Amino acid sequence: MALISVANADSIKKTAGDEARRHPLMLAENTAEPEQAVGADGFRLPPQRQKSTAPDIPPLASDKSPHDVAMAAEKGTLKNPYSYSTMDPALVEAGRKKYMSVSCNGCHGGNGGGGMCPPLSNATWVYGADDDTLFRLVSLGSDELQKQGYTRKGRENVVGPMPPHGKIVKTEDDLWRIIYFIRGNFRGDAKDIKW
Ligand code: HEC
């Protein structure tokens, strides 16, 4: 089901500076380059060669690909090793940088507030709010998630597939940091925090 009209998708293509990284669902106005580190020779490093954005925060999860982790884990068992009980602003910021570096903002906006894609900052969660669902959804994409038996619960303004990112986000640890950012960026009511 294509809710994005063809005319709309075409106009996005024309304004896109970097068509290779574009997807019809990406925000037209998002022209910001993802933040990238610079190597010793002054050239930008590809995202996978960047050092952790928070080298002072030791990784709590593995460097396996999120795809492999999501495929191997039993349903309902994935849990962020970074505790949400007191949100660490440095870790939220580290997660935000990762989020930008893999272009989640292209579809969801810089603060996860949504654009052409569902906002990540409100209390409506399409498949559920828990860590296990979010980790799997981002890693495997919404089509594969549904194949694994996860069903649509909430409704957002956009109904379209979320592409798999479990090999674009390099490590399990990186994805948990991105999810930590999503938690830290929540703008809804405290009573709706169920994670
Ligand atoms: C090409 C556009 C696109 C990109 C890039 C993208 N997403 Fe999504 N995302 C979507 C769409 C579309 C949905 C809704 C899927 C559905 O309704 O089945 C979604 C849903 C989600 C949800 C669930 C939101 C909710 O309200 O329940 C989360 C969390 C999410 N994405 C995180 C991410 C993260 C993190 C990244 C980067 C690693 C990312 N997305 C990259 C399009 C995108």
Q: What percent of the chain has pLDDT over 70?
A: 70
**Domain limits, the chain:** 61-195
pLDDT value at residue 23: 67
In tens, the pLDDT along 4-28 reads 444 444 444 444 344 445 566 665 5
CA 118 to ligand 1 center in whole angstroms: 7
CA 72 to ligand 1 center in whole angstroms: 21
Nearest to 184 by CA among 91, 78, 77: 91
CA 159 to ligand 1 center in whole angstroms: 10
Nearest to 173 by CA among 43, 71, 82: 82
In tens, the pLDDT along 68-105 reads 999 999 999 999 999 999 999 999 999 999 999 999 99
Q: Is the beta carbon of 165 within 6 A of some atom in ligand 1?
A: yes
Q: Is the beta carbon of 134 within 6 A of some atom in ligand 1?
A: yes
Distance CA(73)–CA(79), nearest Å, equals 11
Distance CA(102)–CA(119), nearest Å, equals 17
Per DSSP, the residues of 19-59 read: GGG--TTS-TT--PPPP--B-TTSSBPPGGGSPPS-TTS--
Alpha-carbon distances, residue 178 vs 70, 118, 182, 186 (angstroms): 15, 16, 6, 13
Q: Is the beta carbon of 12 within 6 A of some atom in ligand 1?
A: no
CA 38 to ligand 1 center in whole angstroms: 28
> If you classify domain 61-195 with CATH, what class do you get?
mainly alpha
Q: Is the beta carbon of 178 within 6 A of some atom in ligand 1?
A: yes
pLDDT value at residue 35: 53
pLDDT value at residue 87: 93
Alpha-carbon distances, residue 11 vs 29, 59, 136, 137 (angstroms): 11, 41, 32, 28
- Residue with the nearest Cα to atom 32 of ligand 1? 138
Distance CA(134)–CA(145), nearest Å, equals 10
Of residues 152 and 43, more confidence is placed in: 152
Q: Is the beta carbon of 126 within 6 A of some atom in ligand 1?
A: yes
98: Cβ–Cβ under 8 A, 6 or more apart, which residues? 53, 169, 174, 177, 178, 181
Minimum-distance ligand 1 atom for the alpha carbon of 125: 27
pLDDT value at residue 53: 53
136 pLDDT above the threshold of 50? yes
Cβ contacts of 126-130, under 8 Å, gap ≥ 24: 126/152, 126/153, 126/154, 126/155, 126/156, 127/151, 127/152, 127/153, 127/154, 128/153, 129/192, 129/194, 129/195, 130/194, 130/195
- Residue with the nearest Cα to atom 36 of ligand 1? 104
Q: pTM for the full model?
A: 0.79
